[in-house]
Amino acid sequence: MKRKLRMGMVGGGQGAFIGAVHRAAANLDGQIELVAGAFSSDAKRSKASGKELYIDPARCYGSYKEMAETEAALPADERIDFVSIVTPNFMHFDVAKTFLEAGFNVICDKPMTLTLAEAKKLRAIVKKSGKVFALTHNYTGYPMVKEARELVKKNKLGKILKIVVEYPQGWLLSALEKEDQKQAAWRTDPKRAGSSCCIGDIGTHAENLARYITDLKITELCADFTTFVPGRLLEDDGNILVHYDNGARGILHASQISGGEENNLNIRIYGEKASLEWHQEHPNELVVKYPDKPRQILRRGNDYLSKAAQDNTRLPFGHPEAFIEAFANIYMAAAKAIDAEVHGKKMPKNLDFPNIEDGVEGMAFIETAVKSSKAKAKWTKFVKA
């Protein structure tokens, strides 16, 4: 890079959770600088948030439309290089569309849009714009997830037979949305979250993780959605049987009412030769299991790991890395592409970050799962992405 990339942010102001995570991740490697933002739909709160972040008051905007228009009018050596979108789901499409059409690269939180129809429209806009679009499925940024992917690519597991991926949480066991809890309020509101709460919010991470490691796609699924908390408008628990395109079978379980669970995303992949197991709450270890010899525990930071794992590691072995570093790996991979786009350079090879296609697949997964949960038929064909 010739200089730091200039980042703008939409959302993520006072009281927001994920905005601070994005800022920390983007800042971790010293290659990105936050210079502008529309941090809230309320102009006063946006200004106040910008002040707390030491942003020039002239670049703390009252709306994202004002931000896109004003930034686009600035000289090339002053305007932002990309925008990070950290709003609730219902705003993602229009914010991304606005900035792409104004000539800016985009990094967007997941799920990508409110509906599959919006996702397909956004894909067309991205292709027409020629800009970089990255989606923060941050769990793919963990070094040991990348190691798992490399082992599958090198056929160390043989043919994949079964995938079991789980994402249990317990934080929505009570009706927090009725207690003015901001994060619960929008996630359980169909107008802001879309057609799904639990599967849309965390089930998409489980689906994306399985697809990223194995490169297998779902052909059909059978979903059972339940809303356990009385009065809640969307599901808070989902259990899905899955058929994959190589004949493998899968079980995907996501829950936000599993009391005592915190953020227990985990995956087990069973092949003819060997199997893998990885837990997000213990991310520095990858377990490789064999039918005829002792299991191995591979640990982050060691020289025996693949280049993909080592390239996404910052600290020596024995010094734990975790969530922020994985998030930062997504930002840094996207930053390489954005830097090439901004400076008119050839796009680097083997870019490894979730993109517009991952966003469309994620929305197709949500739509298929919602459709299946309401259907009388046992199996529902995967909606075309």
Q: What is the pLDDT of residues 73-93, one digit of tens each?
A: 999 999 999 999 999 999 999
Rounded to whole angstroms, how far apart are CA atoms 106 and 84? 6
pLDDT score for 133 = 98
- Counting every residue written for the chain, the total comes to 385
| Residue reference for tokens 């970050």 | 353
Rounded to whole angstroms, how far apart are CA atoms 202 and 232? 17
Architecture of domain 5-139+328-355: 3-Layer(aba) Sandwich (3.40)
What interhelical angle do 204-214 and 356-374 show, nearest 10?
Answer: 120
pLDDT score for 79 = 98
Domain 143-315+362-380: give its CATH code: 3.30.360.10
- Label residue 15 by pLDDT band (50, 70, 90): confident
- Label residue 17 by pLDDT band (50, 70, 90): confident
Contacts of 304 (CB under 8 A, 6+ apart): 298
Q: 255, 237 in Cβ contact below 8 A?
A: yes
Q: What is the pLDDT of residues 287-341, one digit of tens each?
A: 999 999 999 999 999 999 999 999 999 999 999 999 999 999 999 999 999 999 9
Instruction: Phi first, then psi: give them for residue 206, nearest 5 degrees.
Output: -65, -45
Q: What is the pLDDT of residues 338-379, one digit of tens each?
A: 999 999 999 998 899 999 999 999 999 999 999 999 999 999
Rounded to whole angstroms, how far apart are CA atoms 46 and 24? 19
Counting residues of the chain whose pLDDT is more than 70, the rounded percentage is 100
| Strands across the sheet containing 380-381 | 296-299, 285-289, 275-279, 266-271, 160-168, 249-255, 237-244, 218-226, 380-381
| Of the candidates 255, 254, 252, 274, the residue with the CA atom closest to the CA atom of residue 164 | 252
| Of the candidates 187, 111, 156, the residue with the CA atom closest to the CA atom of residue 356 | 111
> Would you call 55 helix, strand, or coil by DSSP?
coil
pLDDT score for 88 = 92
- Label residue 180 by pLDDT band (50, 70, 90): confident
Q: Where are the domains of the chain?
A: 5-139+328-355, 143-315+362-380
**Mean pLDDT computed over 204-232:** 98
Rounded to whole angstroms, how far apart are CA atoms 233 and 282? 33
Q: What is the pLDDT of residues 245-257, one digit of tens each?
A: 999 999 999 999 9
pLDDT score for 385 = 87
Instruction: Phi first, then psi: give them for residue 135, nearest 5 degrees.
Output: -120, 135
Q: 258, 168 in Cβ contact below 8 A?
A: yes
Domain 143-315+362-380 in the same topology as domain 5-139+328-355: no
User: Hey, which bits of 27-126 come out as E strands?
Assistant: 32-38, 82-86, 105-108
Instruction: Phi first, then psi: give them for residue 58, nearest 5 degrees.
Output: -70, -15
pTM exceeds 0.85? yes
**Mean pLDDT computed over 25-38:** 97
Counting residues of the chain whose pLDDT is more than 90, the rounded percentage is 96
> Would you call 236 helix, strand, or coil by DSSP?
coil
Calculate the average pLDDT of the chain: 96
Rounded to whole angstroms, how far apart are CA atoms 179 and 74? 43
Q: What is the pLDDT of residues 51-75, one digit of tens each?
A: 999 999 999 999 999 999 999 999 9
